[in-house]
């Protein structure tokens, strides 16, 4: 099976296809599936301001069920159609309950099957309404429900707006005793609102070894490293790119990537390599590359694995470098970012560090408390030791963790104060108990 998508046409007649089937969208059918009209008519939450942030704060942290809160935000002209990036890490339909590292109840993940699918679908419909025309959404799941939600996202956002199925290595290899392969991956579904979406292609820096291997030629005149690539591409063209150049025609079924006139200009600039047999190749120079383009398998953003890594202790907490990559790729400074399963606040903390505006929502008092503590004092060294002992002084910086750990350095505490805290009015007593229990200024009420 070919790995690419052919741009050429079949040379013989294709069998007739039923016009009613051609281009028909696939849908997922199950009991209890609401119409979009019913979902969009969901009653908005009655919200109350619990804590005012610093003067001019526009960021918002919300406590309560995210469905009515999203419905309320959909009525806010400052939010509806204004969100550039949505990242969510919803429950995974594990039929489990989760505690923090301190064994405090964090959240329940008890919805399974079609109940879970409809739960997430309704929220995706409202999130679509909040997305800007240039917006993107990333949904983080495991193999339990990702395949069903892919079909749902095709329904909600349109299959034409599907961009990537990203595979993330989440942990080190497992020494399974059961008879199957080790489960070390989860997945991120990337969709956009439309074709004109915010995008800054992420790249990895070239290493000397990799650069020398891929750009394995050296230009004798300039000394610049380069690699050789074809000057033709698949597909037959009848215009200038399909005509002979320097007495040569493109290979069968191919065309020149550039017009003969442009190829002459490139050759004059020394950008064409001629083989001993007279075949042209294009020179691609290393110094013209921004880096190695990131592909759809991500190996560098595993969950907590190092005793010295700084975390909040909230279950399913994600690596902040993962959010850093997504945010830099699909938003710019000043853009609005939303996470309606905010958990430990990783998305919100990274958004603050990168100069993005943000909205976070969660229905767990443990999640809200964890986020507020993170905003106040940052994260703490995992330190999951039988016998607690500090690092030797020469391995510590002024915050008491290993300077060689880049993840820790990125998580260095920078207080976040420019946000307002809201709660559904019927639940305000729950969040009030959390606030009054703390003496920290950032957790106190206005």
Q: Which residues of the chain, if any, have pLDDT below 50? A: 95, 98-100, 105-107, 109-110, 306-308, 383-386, 388, 390-411, 439-446
**Same structural domain, 191 and 299:** yes
The total of other beta-carbon atoms located within 10 Å of residue 92's CB is 19
| Of the residues 233, 261, 288, the one at which a domain ends | 288
**Between the CA of residue 208 and those of 103, 399, 431, what are the distances in Å?**
46, 33, 53
Domain-located, residue 350: yes
Question: Would 228 be classed as within a structural domain?
Answer: yes
Rounded-to-integer distance, Cα 80 and Cα 57, Å: 18
Q: What is the DSSP string of 409-436?
A: HHT-------EEEEEEGGGHHHHHHHHH
Token pair 């991120």 is found at: 188
Radius of gyration of the chain (CA): 26
- Quick one: 246 and 361 in the same domain? no
Identify whether 352 is part of a domain.
yes
The predicted pLDDT at position 445 comes to 39
Q: What is the pLDDT of residue 437?
A: 54
Same domain, 314 and 430: yes
pTM of the model: 0.82
In a domain, 19, yes or no: no
Angle in degrees, 0-180, between the axes of helices 146-157 and 113-130, rounded to the nearest 10: 40
Q: Does a structural domain hold residue 343? A: yes
pLDDT at residue 54, as a whole number: 79
Q: Are 165 and 274 within one domain?
A: no
- 153-170 b/e with 16+ CB inside 10 Å = b? bbbbbeeebebeebbbbb
DSSP 403: T
Do 368 and 427 touch, CB atoms closer than 8 A? no
List Cα–Cα distances, 192 to 154, 172, 330, 332, 398, in angstroms.
11, 31, 10, 15, 43
Residue range 167-215, pLDDT digits in tens? 999 988 877 777 888 889 999 999 999 999 999 999 999 999 999 999 9
- Whether residues 284 and 399 fall in one domain: no
pLDDT of residue 430: 85
In a 10 Å sphere around its CB, with 0-12 CB exposed, 13-18 middle and 19+ buried, how is residue 386 labelled? Answer: exposed
Question: Do residues 250 and 388 share a domain?
Answer: no
Written as one string, the DSSP assignment of 158-177 is -GGGEEEEEEEE-SS-----
Residue 215's domain spans which residues? Answer: 208-288
**Contacts for 1 with CB less than 8 Å, ≥ 6 apart:** none
In this structure, is residue 3 part of a structural domain? Answer: no
CATH code of 430's domain: 3.40.50.150
d(CA 86, CA 124) in angstroms, rounded, equals: 10
Instruction: Count up the domains in the chain and report the number.
Output: 2
At CA 140, angle to CA 136 and CA 146, rounded to 5?
110
pLDDT for 21-30, tens place per residue? 555 678 899 9
């Amino acid at each position: 099976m070919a790995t690419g998508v052919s741009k050429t046409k079949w040379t013989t007649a294709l069998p007739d296809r039923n016009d009613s089937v051609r281009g028909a969208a696939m849908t997922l059918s199950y009991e209890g599936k609401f119409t979009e009209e019913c979902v969009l008519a969901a009653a908005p939450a009655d919200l109350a301001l619990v804590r005012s942030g610093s003067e001019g704060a526009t960021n918002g942290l919300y406590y309560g069920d995210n469905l009515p809160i999203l419905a309320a935000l959909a009525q806010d002209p400052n939010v509806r159609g204004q969100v550039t990036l949505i990242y969510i890490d919803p429950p995974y339909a594990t039929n489990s309950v989760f505690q923090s590292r301190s064994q405090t109840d964090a959240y329940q993940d008890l919805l399974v099957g079609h109940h879970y699918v409809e739960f997430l679908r309704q929220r995706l419909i409202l999130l679509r309404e909040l997305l800007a025309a240039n917006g993107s959404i990333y949904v983080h799941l495991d193999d339990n429900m990702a395949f069903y939600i892919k079909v749902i996202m095709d329904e909600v956002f349109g299959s034409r707006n599907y961009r990537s199925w990203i595979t993330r290595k989440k942990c080190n290899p497992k020494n399974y005793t059961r008879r199957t392969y080790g489960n070390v991956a989860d997945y991120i579904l990337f969709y956009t609102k439309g074709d004109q979406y915010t995008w800054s292609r992420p790249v990895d820096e070239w290493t000397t070894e990799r650069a020398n291997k891929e750009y394995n030629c050296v230009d004798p005149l300039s000394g610049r490293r380069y690699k050789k690539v074809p000057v033709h591409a698949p597909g037959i063209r009848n215009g200038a790119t399909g005509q002979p150049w320097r007495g040569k025609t493109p290979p069968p079924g191919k065309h020149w990537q550039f017009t003969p006139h442009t190829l002459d200009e490139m050759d004059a600039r020394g950008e064409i390599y001629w083989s001993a047999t007279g075949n042209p190749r294009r020179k691609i120079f290393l110094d013209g590359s921004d880096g190695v383009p990131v592909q759809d398998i991500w190996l560098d953003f595993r969950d907590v694995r190092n005793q010295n890594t700084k975390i909040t202790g909230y279950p399913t907490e994600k690596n902040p470098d993962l959010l850093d990559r997504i945010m830099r790729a699909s938003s710019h400074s000043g853009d609005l970012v939303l996470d309606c399963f905010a958990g430990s606040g990783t998305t919100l903390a990274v958004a603050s560090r990168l100069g993005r505006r943000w909205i976070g929502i969660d229905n767990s008092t443990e999640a809200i408390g964890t986020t507020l503590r993170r905003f106040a004092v940052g994260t703490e060294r995992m330190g999951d030791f039988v016998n607690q002992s500090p690092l030797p002084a020469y391995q510590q910086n002024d915050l008491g963790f290993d300077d060689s750990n880049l993840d820790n350095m990125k998580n260095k505490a920078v207080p976040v104060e420019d946000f307002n805290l809201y709660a559904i009015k019927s639940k305000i007593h729950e969040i009030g108990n959390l606030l009054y229990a703390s003496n920290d200024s950032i957790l106190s009420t206005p």
